[in-house]
Structure 1
Amino acid sequence: MNQPIAIVTGSSSGFGLLTVLELARSGFQVIATMRNLEKGSDLLKQAKNQNLEANISIHELDVTSETSIEKLSTFLKTLGRVDVLVNNAGYAAGGFVEELPLEEYRRQFETNVFGVIAVTKTVLPYMRRQGSGKIINMSSISGIVAFPGLSPYCASKHALEGWSESLRLEMKPFGVDVILIEPGSYKTSIWSTGRQVTPSQEESPYFILMKKLEDYILAGEEGFGDPREVAQKVAEISTMKEPNFRFPIGKGVKLTIRLKNLIPWKKWESQVMKNVNKTKN
Protein backbone atom coordinates (compact mmCIF):
# COMPACT_ATOMS: atom_id res chain seq x y z
CA MET A 1 0.00 0.00 0.00
CA ASN A 2 2.97 2.34 0.58
CA GLN A 3 4.47 1.76 -2.84
CA PRO A 4 4.37 4.71 -5.23
CA ILE A 5 2.09 4.06 -8.21
CA ALA A 6 3.08 4.60 -11.83
CA ILE A 7 0.95 4.29 -14.97
CA VAL A 8 2.60 3.65 -18.34
CA THR A 9 0.69 3.77 -21.63
CA GLY A 10 1.72 1.78 -24.68
CA SER A 11 3.41 -0.89 -22.58
CA SER A 12 3.31 -3.88 -24.93
CA SER A 13 6.65 -3.12 -26.61
CA GLY A 14 9.54 -0.69 -27.04
CA PHE A 15 10.09 2.14 -24.60
CA GLY A 16 6.83 1.36 -22.80
CA LEU A 17 7.66 -2.26 -22.00
CA LEU A 18 11.18 -1.43 -20.86
CA THR A 19 9.97 1.53 -18.81
CA VAL A 20 7.50 -0.68 -16.93
CA LEU A 21 10.33 -3.04 -15.99
CA GLU A 22 12.65 -0.23 -14.91
CA LEU A 23 9.98 1.45 -12.78
CA ALA A 24 9.09 -1.87 -11.16
CA ARG A 25 12.79 -2.42 -10.45
CA SER A 26 12.88 1.03 -8.83
CA GLY A 27 10.13 0.06 -6.38
CA PHE A 28 7.02 1.37 -8.13
CA GLN A 29 3.76 -0.51 -8.39
CA VAL A 30 3.31 -0.19 -12.14
CA ILE A 31 0.03 -0.24 -14.06
CA ALA A 32 1.07 -1.27 -17.57
CA THR A 33 -1.62 -0.26 -20.05
CA MET A 34 -2.07 -1.38 -23.65
CA ARG A 35 -4.84 -1.68 -26.25
CA ASN A 36 -4.53 -5.45 -26.70
CA LEU A 37 -3.96 -7.44 -23.51
CA GLU A 38 -2.82 -10.44 -25.53
CA LYS A 39 0.29 -8.45 -26.45
CA GLY A 40 1.25 -8.29 -22.79
CA SER A 41 2.68 -11.80 -22.75
CA ASP A 42 6.24 -10.65 -23.52
CA LEU A 43 6.12 -8.07 -20.74
CA LEU A 44 4.85 -10.63 -18.23
CA LYS A 45 7.47 -13.15 -19.29
CA GLN A 46 10.29 -10.65 -18.85
CA ALA A 47 8.86 -9.49 -15.53
CA LYS A 48 8.78 -13.06 -14.24
CA ASN A 49 12.33 -13.74 -15.40
CA GLN A 50 13.48 -10.63 -13.52
CA ASN A 51 11.38 -11.35 -10.41
CA LEU A 52 9.35 -8.17 -10.95
CA GLU A 53 5.90 -9.64 -11.56
CA ALA A 54 4.63 -8.69 -8.09
CA ASN A 55 5.14 -5.01 -8.96
CA ILE A 56 3.35 -5.08 -12.32
CA SER A 57 -0.28 -5.36 -13.34
CA ILE A 58 -1.75 -5.02 -16.82
CA HIS A 59 -4.75 -2.86 -17.65
CA GLU A 60 -6.52 -2.51 -21.00
CA LEU A 61 -6.45 1.02 -22.37
CA ASP A 62 -7.00 2.52 -25.80
CA VAL A 63 -6.02 6.19 -25.46
CA THR A 64 -8.23 7.12 -28.44
CA SER A 65 -11.41 5.59 -26.97
CA GLU A 66 -13.68 7.62 -24.68
CA THR A 67 -15.12 4.40 -23.27
CA SER A 68 -11.66 3.10 -22.46
CA ILE A 69 -10.68 6.39 -20.81
CA GLU A 70 -13.85 6.25 -18.70
CA LYS A 71 -12.89 2.73 -17.56
CA LEU A 72 -9.47 4.07 -16.59
CA SER A 73 -11.15 6.81 -14.57
CA THR A 74 -13.21 4.23 -12.69
CA PHE A 75 -10.10 2.12 -12.10
CA LEU A 76 -8.18 5.09 -10.69
CA LYS A 77 -10.81 5.50 -7.99
CA THR A 78 -9.76 2.10 -6.63
CA LEU A 79 -6.11 3.20 -6.55
CA GLY A 80 -6.73 6.53 -4.84
CA ARG A 81 -3.46 8.07 -5.99
CA VAL A 82 -1.06 8.26 -8.93
CA ASP A 83 2.56 9.28 -8.48
CA VAL A 84 3.90 9.00 -12.03
CA LEU A 85 2.21 8.96 -15.43
CA VAL A 86 4.30 8.04 -18.46
CA ASN A 87 2.50 8.97 -21.68
CA ASN A 88 4.27 6.66 -24.11
CA ALA A 89 1.57 5.32 -26.44
CA GLY A 90 2.11 6.49 -29.99
CA TYR A 91 3.08 5.66 -33.54
CA ALA A 92 4.75 7.38 -36.50
CA ALA A 93 2.79 8.23 -39.64
CA GLY A 94 4.71 9.20 -42.75
CA GLY A 95 4.27 10.19 -46.36
CA PHE A 96 4.23 13.39 -48.38
CA VAL A 97 1.63 16.04 -47.56
CA GLU A 98 0.10 16.14 -51.06
CA GLU A 99 -0.40 12.37 -51.05
CA LEU A 100 -1.50 11.91 -47.44
CA PRO A 101 -5.24 11.68 -46.69
CA LEU A 102 -6.32 14.30 -44.17
CA GLU A 103 -7.72 11.46 -42.09
CA GLU A 104 -4.16 10.19 -41.54
CA TYR A 105 -3.30 13.44 -39.78
CA ARG A 106 -6.41 13.12 -37.64
CA ARG A 107 -5.50 9.55 -36.64
CA GLN A 108 -1.97 10.61 -35.81
CA PHE A 109 -3.14 13.42 -33.56
CA GLU A 110 -5.83 11.27 -31.93
CA THR A 111 -3.13 8.97 -30.55
CA ASN A 112 -0.05 11.15 -30.13
CA VAL A 113 -1.77 14.32 -28.89
CA PHE A 114 -5.43 13.93 -27.91
CA GLY A 115 -4.77 10.50 -26.37
CA VAL A 116 -2.08 12.03 -24.17
CA ILE A 117 -4.40 14.87 -23.17
CA ALA A 118 -7.27 12.50 -22.35
CA VAL A 119 -5.19 10.23 -20.12
CA THR A 120 -3.50 13.17 -18.42
CA LYS A 121 -6.81 14.91 -17.65
CA THR A 122 -7.93 11.70 -15.94
CA VAL A 123 -4.87 11.66 -13.70
CA LEU A 124 -4.50 15.38 -12.93
CA PRO A 125 -7.12 15.63 -10.14
CA TYR A 126 -5.31 12.97 -8.12
CA MET A 127 -1.90 14.62 -8.46
CA ARG A 128 -3.30 18.09 -7.77
CA ARG A 129 -4.98 16.90 -4.55
CA GLN A 130 -1.83 15.05 -3.52
CA GLY A 131 0.30 18.11 -4.17
CA SER A 132 2.79 15.91 -5.97
CA GLY A 133 3.29 13.81 -9.07
CA LYS A 134 5.19 13.57 -12.32
CA ILE A 135 3.76 13.51 -15.84
CA ILE A 136 6.43 12.26 -18.24
CA ASN A 137 5.56 12.71 -21.90
CA MET A 138 7.47 10.71 -24.51
CA SER A 139 8.23 13.25 -27.21
CA SER A 140 11.01 12.94 -29.78
CA ILE A 141 13.75 14.92 -31.44
CA SER A 142 11.04 15.15 -34.14
CA GLY A 143 9.22 17.50 -31.78
CA ILE A 144 12.03 20.01 -32.27
CA VAL A 145 13.59 19.04 -35.60
CA ALA A 146 11.21 18.23 -38.46
CA PHE A 147 12.03 15.95 -41.36
CA PRO A 148 10.54 15.56 -44.86
CA GLY A 149 8.14 12.67 -45.32
CA LEU A 150 7.17 12.53 -41.63
CA SER A 151 4.94 15.59 -41.29
CA PRO A 152 2.10 13.88 -39.35
CA TYR A 153 4.51 12.51 -36.75
CA CYS A 154 6.63 15.67 -36.53
CA ALA A 155 3.54 17.87 -36.25
CA SER A 156 2.09 15.70 -33.47
CA LYS A 157 5.32 15.83 -31.49
CA HIS A 158 5.64 19.60 -31.98
CA ALA A 159 2.08 19.91 -30.64
CA LEU A 160 2.95 17.69 -27.68
CA GLU A 161 5.91 19.93 -26.86
CA GLY A 162 3.80 23.10 -26.81
CA TRP A 163 0.98 21.53 -24.83
CA SER A 164 3.43 20.10 -22.29
CA GLU A 165 5.05 23.50 -21.80
CA SER A 166 1.69 25.06 -20.97
CA LEU A 167 0.79 22.18 -18.65
CA ARG A 168 4.15 22.44 -16.89
CA LEU A 169 3.43 26.08 -16.01
CA GLU A 170 -0.16 25.31 -14.98
CA MET A 171 0.76 22.49 -12.61
CA LYS A 172 3.93 23.92 -11.06
CA PRO A 173 1.97 25.78 -8.33
CA PHE A 174 0.39 22.45 -7.32
CA GLY A 175 3.66 20.57 -6.92
CA VAL A 176 3.19 18.51 -10.09
CA ASP A 177 6.09 18.24 -12.54
CA VAL A 178 5.62 17.87 -16.30
CA ILE A 179 8.62 16.48 -18.19
CA LEU A 180 9.44 15.84 -21.83
CA ILE A 181 11.71 13.00 -22.95
CA GLU A 182 13.14 13.74 -26.42
CA PRO A 183 14.78 10.58 -27.79
CA GLY A 184 16.67 10.36 -31.03
CA SER A 185 16.75 7.11 -33.03
CA TYR A 186 16.52 3.93 -30.96
CA LYS A 187 15.97 0.26 -31.80
CA THR A 188 12.23 0.13 -31.17
CA SER A 189 9.26 -0.94 -33.27
CA ILE A 190 8.20 2.64 -34.04
CA TRP A 191 10.44 2.58 -37.13
CA SER A 192 9.12 -0.83 -38.26
CA THR A 193 5.66 -2.05 -37.17
CA GLY A 194 5.01 1.29 -35.45
CA ARG A 195 5.57 3.33 -38.60
CA GLN A 196 2.62 3.71 -40.96
CA VAL A 197 3.76 5.17 -44.27
CA THR A 198 1.53 6.22 -47.15
CA PRO A 199 3.75 5.08 -50.04
CA SER A 200 4.40 6.97 -53.24
CA GLN A 201 3.66 5.21 -56.54
CA GLU A 202 6.31 5.01 -59.25
CA GLU A 203 4.55 7.66 -61.32
CA SER A 204 4.48 10.05 -58.34
CA PRO A 205 6.72 13.15 -58.44
CA TYR A 206 7.67 12.23 -54.84
CA PHE A 207 8.65 8.62 -55.59
CA ILE A 208 12.42 9.18 -55.87
CA LEU A 209 12.56 11.37 -52.76
CA MET A 210 10.52 8.81 -50.81
CA LYS A 211 13.01 6.10 -51.79
CA LYS A 212 15.91 8.28 -50.67
CA LEU A 213 14.24 8.93 -47.32
CA GLU A 214 13.59 5.22 -46.77
CA ASP A 215 17.23 4.47 -47.61
CA TYR A 216 18.39 7.25 -45.28
CA ILE A 217 16.44 5.76 -42.35
CA LEU A 218 17.60 2.21 -43.10
CA ALA A 219 21.23 3.32 -43.48
CA GLY A 220 21.23 4.63 -39.93
CA GLU A 221 19.67 1.60 -38.24
CA GLU A 222 22.98 0.11 -37.12
CA GLY A 223 23.67 3.27 -35.16
CA PHE A 224 20.31 3.32 -33.38
CA GLY A 225 20.64 3.33 -29.60
CA ASP A 226 19.67 0.78 -26.97
CA PRO A 227 16.11 1.67 -25.84
CA ARG A 228 16.92 0.60 -22.30
CA GLU A 229 18.82 3.88 -22.00
CA VAL A 230 15.56 5.80 -22.39
CA ALA A 231 13.68 3.54 -19.97
CA GLN A 232 16.39 3.98 -17.36
CA LYS A 233 16.23 7.75 -17.80
CA VAL A 234 12.45 7.69 -17.21
CA ALA A 235 12.94 5.69 -14.01
CA GLU A 236 15.65 8.11 -12.89
CA ILE A 237 13.45 11.15 -13.55
CA SER A 238 10.57 9.50 -11.66
CA THR A 239 12.50 9.80 -8.39
CA MET A 240 14.08 13.24 -8.97
CA LYS A 241 13.06 16.04 -6.63
CA GLU A 242 13.17 18.90 -9.16
CA PRO A 243 13.55 17.51 -12.69
CA ASN A 244 14.23 19.74 -15.67
CA PHE A 245 11.49 20.20 -18.24
CA ARG A 246 13.30 18.70 -21.27
CA PHE A 247 15.56 15.66 -21.47
CA PRO A 248 17.04 15.22 -24.96
CA ILE A 249 18.65 11.78 -25.16
CA GLY A 250 20.46 9.75 -27.80
CA LYS A 251 23.47 9.89 -30.07
CA GLY A 252 23.90 13.35 -31.59
CA VAL A 253 20.57 14.65 -30.31
CA LYS A 254 21.86 17.56 -28.22
CA LEU A 255 24.27 18.61 -30.96
CA THR A 256 21.52 18.49 -33.61
CA ILE A 257 19.21 20.65 -31.52
CA ARG A 258 22.00 23.11 -30.77
CA LEU A 259 22.95 23.41 -34.43
CA LYS A 260 19.37 23.99 -35.55
CA ASN A 261 19.04 26.80 -33.01
CA LEU A 262 22.36 28.42 -33.97
CA ILE A 263 22.75 28.31 -37.74
CA PRO A 264 20.62 30.24 -40.26
CA TRP A 265 17.62 28.38 -41.64
CA LYS A 266 18.92 28.28 -45.22
CA LYS A 267 22.10 26.53 -44.09
CA TRP A 268 20.08 24.15 -41.99
CA GLU A 269 17.70 23.09 -44.78
CA SER A 270 20.62 22.79 -47.19
CA GLN A 271 22.35 20.36 -44.82
CA VAL A 272 19.18 18.29 -44.33
CA MET A 273 18.66 17.89 -48.07
CA LYS A 274 22.34 17.10 -48.56
CA ASN A 275 22.12 14.28 -46.00
CA VAL A 276 19.05 12.81 -47.70
CA ASN A 277 20.60 13.02 -51.16
CA LYS A 278 23.72 11.14 -50.01
CA THR A 279 21.75 7.89 -50.11
CA LYS A 280 21.60 5.80 -53.26
CA ASN A 281 18.48 5.61 -55.43
Structure 2
Amino acid sequence: MSNLKTVLITGASRGIGLLAAKALAERGHYVYASMRDIKGRNKSAAEELQIWAGENKLSLEPIELDVTDDQSVNTAISKIEAQRPLDVLVNNAGAMPTGLTEAYTLEQAQQNFDVNMFGIMRTSRAALPHMRGRKSGLLISLSSAAGRFAMPFFGLYCASKWAMEAYCEALHYELEPFGIESVIIEPSGHGTDLVKTSPAPADKKCVEAYGPMAGGRESLLGMFQDMFDLGDPGTDANNVATKIVELVEATSARPIRTQVGHDMGVSAVNDAVAPIQAELIKGLKPVYMGETTDA
Protein backbone atom coordinates (compact mmCIF):
# COMPACT_ATOMS: atom_id res chain seq x y z
CA MET A 1 0.00 0.00 0.00
CA SER A 2 1.08 3.60 -0.51
CA ASN A 3 1.71 6.19 2.18
CA LEU A 4 3.43 3.77 4.53
CA LYS A 5 4.38 5.11 7.96
CA THR A 6 7.17 4.70 10.46
CA VAL A 7 5.48 3.83 13.75
CA LEU A 8 6.76 3.54 17.32
CA ILE A 9 4.61 1.57 19.77
CA THR A 10 5.36 1.58 23.49
CA GLY A 11 4.69 -1.48 25.64
CA ALA A 12 4.85 -3.84 22.67
CA SER A 13 6.16 -6.95 24.42
CA ARG A 14 2.64 -8.28 24.92
CA GLY A 15 -1.09 -7.48 24.83
CA ILE A 16 -2.50 -4.73 22.64
CA GLY A 17 0.94 -3.31 21.90
CA LEU A 18 2.17 -6.62 20.49
CA LEU A 19 -1.02 -7.16 18.47
CA ALA A 20 -0.88 -3.64 17.05
CA ALA A 21 2.80 -3.96 16.16
CA LYS A 22 2.13 -7.12 14.19
CA ALA A 23 -1.01 -5.74 12.54
CA LEU A 24 0.77 -2.59 11.38
CA ALA A 25 3.79 -4.52 10.11
CA GLU A 26 1.48 -6.83 8.15
CA ARG A 27 0.06 -3.72 6.47
CA GLY A 28 3.55 -2.77 5.30
CA HIS A 29 4.39 -0.07 7.85
CA TYR A 30 7.85 0.11 9.42
CA VAL A 31 7.26 -0.64 13.10
CA TYR A 32 9.48 -0.11 16.11
CA ALA A 33 8.11 -2.37 18.86
CA SER A 34 9.46 -0.91 22.07
CA MET A 35 9.79 -2.69 25.40
CA ARG A 36 11.75 -2.51 28.64
CA ASP A 37 14.77 -4.66 29.41
CA ILE A 38 15.06 -6.01 25.89
CA LYS A 39 18.18 -7.99 26.76
CA GLY A 40 16.75 -9.32 30.03
CA ARG A 41 13.20 -10.27 30.96
CA ASN A 42 11.82 -9.30 27.54
CA LYS A 43 14.65 -10.90 25.56
CA SER A 44 12.50 -13.83 24.43
CA ALA A 45 9.62 -11.53 23.42
CA ALA A 46 12.00 -9.40 21.32
CA GLU A 47 13.62 -12.43 19.71
CA GLU A 48 10.28 -14.01 18.87
CA LEU A 49 9.15 -10.78 17.22
CA GLN A 50 12.33 -10.54 15.18
CA ILE A 51 12.00 -14.15 14.03
CA TRP A 52 8.33 -13.62 13.14
CA ALA A 53 9.15 -10.48 11.16
CA GLY A 54 12.01 -12.21 9.34
CA GLU A 55 9.97 -15.25 8.43
CA ASN A 56 7.20 -13.03 7.06
CA LYS A 57 9.59 -10.52 5.44
CA LEU A 58 8.08 -7.64 7.40
CA SER A 59 9.62 -4.40 8.66
CA LEU A 60 9.42 -4.71 12.43
CA GLU A 61 12.24 -3.93 14.84
CA PRO A 62 12.17 -4.39 18.63
CA ILE A 63 13.76 -1.45 20.43
CA GLU A 64 14.68 -0.74 24.05
CA LEU A 65 12.47 1.91 25.65
CA ASP A 66 11.35 2.43 29.24
CA VAL A 67 8.67 5.14 29.39
CA THR A 68 9.63 5.92 33.01
CA ASP A 69 13.23 6.79 32.10
CA ASP A 70 14.10 10.08 30.34
CA GLN A 71 17.38 8.84 28.92
CA SER A 72 15.85 5.61 27.64
CA VAL A 73 13.07 7.49 25.86
CA ASN A 74 15.38 10.11 24.33
CA THR A 75 17.87 7.47 23.20
CA ALA A 76 15.16 5.42 21.48
CA ILE A 77 13.64 8.41 19.68
CA SER A 78 17.08 9.62 18.58
CA LYS A 79 17.94 6.16 17.25
CA ILE A 80 14.73 6.01 15.24
CA GLU A 81 15.12 9.53 13.85
CA ALA A 82 18.68 8.71 12.78
CA GLN A 83 17.29 5.88 10.66
CA ARG A 84 14.04 7.37 9.34
CA PRO A 85 11.50 10.10 10.22
CA LEU A 86 9.03 8.99 12.90
CA ASP A 87 5.50 9.50 11.59
CA VAL A 88 3.38 7.94 14.35
CA LEU A 89 3.83 7.48 18.09
CA VAL A 90 1.44 5.01 19.73
CA ASN A 91 1.44 5.53 23.50
CA ASN A 92 0.27 2.10 24.62
CA ALA A 93 2.34 1.27 27.73
CA GLY A 94 0.22 1.28 30.87
CA ALA A 95 -0.64 -0.37 34.19
CA MET A 96 -4.06 -0.97 35.79
CA PRO A 97 -4.01 -0.78 39.60
CA THR A 98 -7.18 -2.28 41.07
CA GLY A 99 -8.15 -2.02 44.72
CA LEU A 100 -9.29 0.31 47.48
CA THR A 101 -8.23 3.80 46.50
CA GLU A 102 -7.19 4.95 49.98
CA ALA A 103 -5.00 1.88 50.44
CA TYR A 104 -2.63 2.80 47.61
CA THR A 105 0.40 4.58 48.99
CA LEU A 106 1.67 7.85 47.59
CA GLU A 107 4.68 5.98 46.23
CA GLN A 108 2.39 3.58 44.36
CA ALA A 109 0.38 6.48 42.95
CA GLN A 110 3.56 8.16 41.73
CA GLN A 111 4.74 4.93 40.13
CA ASN A 112 1.43 4.52 38.31
CA PHE A 113 1.36 8.11 37.07
CA ASP A 114 4.98 7.69 35.99
CA VAL A 115 3.79 5.10 33.46
CA ASN A 116 0.22 6.10 32.57
CA MET A 117 0.68 9.87 32.52
CA PHE A 118 4.31 10.98 32.66
CA GLY A 119 5.34 8.17 30.32
CA ILE A 120 3.17 9.78 27.63
CA MET A 121 4.70 13.16 28.39
CA ARG A 122 8.21 11.77 28.01
CA THR A 123 7.63 10.05 24.69
CA SER A 124 5.58 12.94 23.29
CA ARG A 125 8.15 15.56 24.28
CA ALA A 126 10.90 13.48 22.68
CA ALA A 127 9.02 12.91 19.42
CA LEU A 128 7.23 16.22 18.91
CA PRO A 129 10.21 18.49 18.13
CA HIS A 130 10.98 16.29 15.12
CA MET A 131 7.33 16.20 14.05
CA ARG A 132 6.92 19.94 14.45
CA GLY A 133 9.99 20.48 12.30
CA ARG A 134 8.39 18.43 9.53
CA LYS A 135 4.91 19.86 10.20
CA SER A 136 3.41 16.38 10.22
CA GLY A 137 2.85 13.55 12.65
CA LEU A 138 0.35 11.59 14.68
CA LEU A 139 0.12 10.74 18.38
CA ILE A 140 -2.26 7.92 19.34
CA SER A 141 -2.62 7.48 23.11
CA LEU A 142 -4.37 4.54 24.74
CA SER A 143 -6.77 5.61 27.48
CA SER A 144 -9.70 3.52 28.70
CA ALA A 145 -13.40 3.69 29.36
CA ALA A 146 -12.06 4.51 32.84
CA GLY A 147 -10.76 7.75 31.34
CA ARG A 148 -14.35 9.02 31.15
CA PHE A 149 -15.90 7.91 34.46
CA ALA A 150 -14.92 6.84 37.98
CA MET A 151 -15.79 3.63 39.75
CA PRO A 152 -14.96 1.87 43.03
CA PHE A 153 -11.58 0.10 43.21
CA PHE A 154 -10.43 1.94 40.07
CA GLY A 155 -9.74 5.32 41.64
CA LEU A 156 -6.01 5.43 40.93
CA TYR A 157 -6.39 4.00 37.44
CA CYS A 158 -9.21 6.41 36.56
CA ALA A 159 -7.22 9.35 37.94
CA SER A 160 -4.22 8.54 35.73
CA LYS A 161 -6.39 8.10 32.64
CA TRP A 162 -8.36 11.29 33.28
CA ALA A 163 -5.05 13.13 33.54
CA MET A 164 -3.61 11.71 30.35
CA GLU A 165 -6.81 12.46 28.43
CA ALA A 166 -6.62 16.13 29.44
CA TYR A 167 -2.97 16.28 28.43
CA CYS A 168 -3.53 14.57 25.07
CA GLU A 169 -6.58 16.66 24.22
CA ALA A 170 -4.75 19.90 25.01
CA LEU A 171 -1.99 18.74 22.66
CA HIS A 172 -4.65 18.09 20.00
CA TYR A 173 -5.51 21.79 19.86
CA GLU A 174 -2.00 23.16 20.31
CA LEU A 175 -0.47 20.96 17.60
CA GLU A 176 -3.07 21.84 14.97
CA PRO A 177 -0.98 24.66 13.43
CA PHE A 178 1.85 22.17 12.87
CA GLY A 179 -0.25 19.61 11.00
CA ILE A 180 0.07 17.11 13.87
CA GLU A 181 -2.85 15.21 15.42
CA SER A 182 -3.09 13.96 18.99
CA VAL A 183 -5.94 11.48 19.41
CA ILE A 184 -7.18 9.14 22.12
CA ILE A 185 -8.49 5.57 22.04
CA GLU A 186 -10.87 4.56 24.85
CA PRO A 187 -11.12 0.75 25.02
CA SER A 188 -13.50 -0.94 27.41
CA GLY A 189 -12.44 -4.26 28.98
CA HIS A 190 -10.41 -6.41 26.61
CA GLY A 191 -8.72 -9.75 27.17
CA THR A 192 -5.10 -8.82 27.91
CA ASP A 193 -2.88 -9.62 30.88
CA LEU A 194 -3.74 -6.36 32.68
CA VAL A 195 -5.98 -8.36 35.02
CA LYS A 196 -3.16 -10.73 35.99
CA THR A 197 -0.58 -7.94 36.38
CA SER A 198 -2.82 -5.44 38.19
CA PRO A 199 -0.92 -3.87 41.14
CA ALA A 200 -2.63 -4.35 44.52
CA PRO A 201 -2.70 -1.64 47.22
CA ALA A 202 0.27 -1.83 49.57
CA ASP A 203 -1.34 -0.46 52.75
CA LYS A 204 -2.68 -3.74 54.14
CA LYS A 205 -3.84 -2.19 57.41
CA CYS A 206 -5.99 0.26 55.46
CA VAL A 207 -7.43 -2.55 53.36
CA GLU A 208 -8.40 -4.50 56.49
CA ALA A 209 -10.12 -1.43 57.94
CA TYR A 210 -12.66 -1.56 55.10
CA GLY A 211 -13.98 -4.93 56.26
CA PRO A 212 -16.00 -6.83 53.60
CA MET A 213 -15.15 -4.19 51.00
CA ALA A 214 -11.57 -5.47 51.12
CA GLY A 215 -12.63 -8.25 48.76
CA GLY A 216 -13.71 -5.79 46.08
CA ARG A 217 -10.44 -6.01 44.19
CA GLU A 218 -10.66 -9.78 43.71
CA SER A 219 -14.36 -9.60 42.85
CA LEU A 220 -13.82 -6.93 40.19
CA LEU A 221 -10.82 -8.63 38.62
CA GLY A 222 -12.68 -11.95 38.71
CA MET A 223 -15.64 -10.38 36.96
CA PHE A 224 -13.38 -9.11 34.18
CA GLN A 225 -11.63 -12.46 33.78
CA ASP A 226 -14.96 -14.33 33.67
CA MET A 227 -16.12 -11.96 30.93
CA PHE A 228 -12.94 -12.53 28.92
CA ASP A 229 -13.19 -16.32 29.35
CA LEU A 230 -16.61 -16.28 27.66
CA GLY A 231 -14.90 -15.36 24.40
CA ASP A 232 -17.20 -12.40 23.69
CA PRO A 233 -15.99 -10.82 20.40
CA GLY A 234 -16.48 -7.41 22.00
CA THR A 235 -13.62 -8.13 24.42
CA ASP A 236 -11.13 -9.38 21.80
CA ALA A 237 -7.97 -7.26 22.12
CA ASN A 238 -7.54 -7.45 18.35
CA ASN A 239 -10.40 -4.93 18.14
CA VAL A 240 -8.14 -2.29 19.63
CA ALA A 241 -5.20 -3.23 17.40
CA THR A 242 -7.47 -2.95 14.36
CA LYS A 243 -8.64 0.49 15.44
CA ILE A 244 -5.04 1.64 15.86
CA VAL A 245 -4.34 0.53 12.28
CA GLU A 246 -7.42 2.41 11.05
CA LEU A 247 -6.32 5.61 12.76
CA VAL A 248 -2.78 5.31 11.41
CA GLU A 249 -4.08 4.84 7.87
CA ALA A 250 -6.90 7.42 8.00
CA THR A 251 -6.78 9.90 5.13
CA SER A 252 -9.02 12.54 6.71
CA ALA A 253 -9.14 14.28 10.08
CA ARG A 254 -9.34 11.82 12.95
CA PRO A 255 -11.77 12.19 15.90
CA ILE A 256 -10.19 13.28 19.16
CA ARG A 257 -11.69 10.25 20.90
CA THR A 258 -12.45 6.77 19.57
CA GLN A 259 -14.31 4.27 21.76
CA VAL A 260 -13.62 0.54 21.23
CA GLY A 261 -15.48 -2.48 22.60
CA HIS A 262 -18.53 -2.48 24.86
CA ASP A 263 -19.60 1.13 25.06
CA MET A 264 -20.38 1.32 28.82
CA GLY A 265 -21.88 4.78 28.28
CA VAL A 266 -18.61 6.32 27.10
CA SER A 267 -20.03 7.48 23.76
CA ALA A 268 -22.91 9.22 25.54
CA VAL A 269 -20.44 11.09 27.74
CA ASN A 270 -18.31 12.03 24.74
CA ASP A 271 -21.34 13.19 22.75
CA ALA A 272 -22.63 15.26 25.67
CA VAL A 273 -19.29 16.95 26.34
CA ALA A 274 -18.28 17.55 22.70
CA PRO A 275 -20.46 20.63 21.98
CA ILE A 276 -19.50 22.26 25.28
CA GLN A 277 -15.81 21.65 24.57
CA ALA A 278 -16.19 22.88 20.98
CA GLU A 279 -17.75 26.14 22.16
CA LEU A 280 -14.92 26.67 24.63
CA ILE A 281 -12.29 26.02 21.96
CA LYS A 282 -14.10 28.30 19.52
CA GLY A 283 -13.68 31.15 21.97
CA LEU A 284 -10.05 30.32 22.75
CA LYS A 285 -8.89 29.56 19.21
CA PRO A 286 -7.97 33.13 18.25
CA VAL A 287 -5.78 33.23 21.35
CA TYR A 288 -3.89 29.95 21.02
CA MET A 289 -3.67 30.27 17.22
CA GLY A 290 -2.04 33.70 17.61
CA GLU A 291 -4.88 35.53 15.91
CA THR A 292 -5.40 38.22 18.55
CA THR A 293 -5.32 41.84 17.44
CA ASP A 294 -4.70 45.01 19.37
CA ALA A 295 -7.80 46.93 20.38
TM-score range, shorter chain: 0.7 to 0.9
2:170 counterpart residue number: 166
1:232 equivalent to 2:233? Answer: no
Asked if residue 31 in structure 1 is aligned to residue 32 in structure 2, the reply is yes
Residue 206 (structure 2) pairs with residue 196 (structure 1): no
> Of the candidates 58, 61, 65, which is equivalent to residue 61 of structure 1?
65
Residues 100 and 19 (structure 1 numbering): CA distance in 2 closer, same or farther, change over 3 Å? Answer: same
Distance 2:52 2:254 in 1: 31
Name which of 97, 101, 107 aligns with 1:103. 107
Query: Structure 2: how far apart are the matches of 1:122 and 1:31?
Result: 15
Give the structure 1 partner of residue 17 of structure 2: 16
Alpha-carbon distance in structure 2 between the residues aligned to 1:33 and 1:5: 13
Residues 188 and 67 of structure 1: is their aligned pair in 2 closer, same or farther, counting only changes over 3 Å? same
Report the CA distance shift for 1:113/1:212 in structure 2 as closer, same or farther (over 3 A): closer
Q: Say which SS state the counterpart of residue 135 (structure 1) adopts.
A: strand
Alignment of 1:250 onto 2:261: yes
For residue 176 of structure 1, the aligned residue among 173, 177, 180 is 180
Offset from partner CA, 1:192-223 (integer Å, 9 cap, x none): 12x10116569823242231342233124243
| Structure 2 CA distance for partners of 1:148 and 1:257, relative to 1, 3 Å | farther
| TM superposition shift of 1:190 | 1.0
214-223 or 110-119: bigger deviation: 214-223
C-alpha spacing 1:221/1:131, structure 2 compared with 1 (3 Å): same
Q: Matched residue of 2:122: which SS?
A: helix
Letter in 2 for 1:238: V
Structure 2: gaps spanning 5 or more residues: 229-234, 273-295
1:243 offset after TM fit, Å?
A: 1.1
- Runs of 4+ in structure 1 off by over 6 angstroms are 259-262
Tell me, in whole angstroms, the C-alpha distance in 1 between the residues paired with 2:271 and 2:81: 44
In 2 relative to 1, CA 47–237 (structure 1 residues): closer, same or farther, beyond 3 Å?
farther
Q: Deviations over 1:219-266 (max 9, x none)?
A: 24243311011001101110102111101111233x35527988xxxx
Asked if the contact 1:44–1:53 (Cα under 8 Å) also holds between the matched residues in 2, the reply is: no
1:41 corresponds to 2:51: no
RMSD in angstroms over aligned alpha carbons?
Answer: 2.4
Describe the shift of the 1:87–1:52 C-alpha distance in structure 2 as closer, same or farther (beyond 3 A).
Answer: farther
User: Bigger shift: 128-137 or 7-16?
Assistant: 128-137
Change (3 A) 1:45 1:53: farther
Identity of aligned residues (%): 30
Structure 1 residue 24, shift from structure 2 partner: 0.5
Q: Any idea what SS the aligned residue of 2:97 has?
A: strand
1:26 Cα deviation (Å)? 1.5
Contact residue 179 and residue 246 of structure 1 kept, 8 A? yes
1:46-103 deviation digits (Å, cap 9, x = unpaired):
6645744531111111111122123124313413411110001111123323322111
Which amino acid in structure 1 is aligned with residue 186 of structure 2? E
Alignment-derived partner of residue 75 in structure 1: 79
Contact kept, 8 Å, 2:148 with 2:269, in 1: the verdict is no
Distance 1:256 1:31, change over 3 A: closer
Confirm or deny that 1:209 pairs with 2:220. Answer: no
Q: Which moved more, 1:62-71 or 1:103-112?
A: 62-71
Equivalence for 2:289: none
Report the Cα distance in structure 1 between the residues aligned to 2:59 and 2:193, rounded to whole angstroms. Answer: 25
8 A Cα contact 2:8 2:34, kept in partner: yes
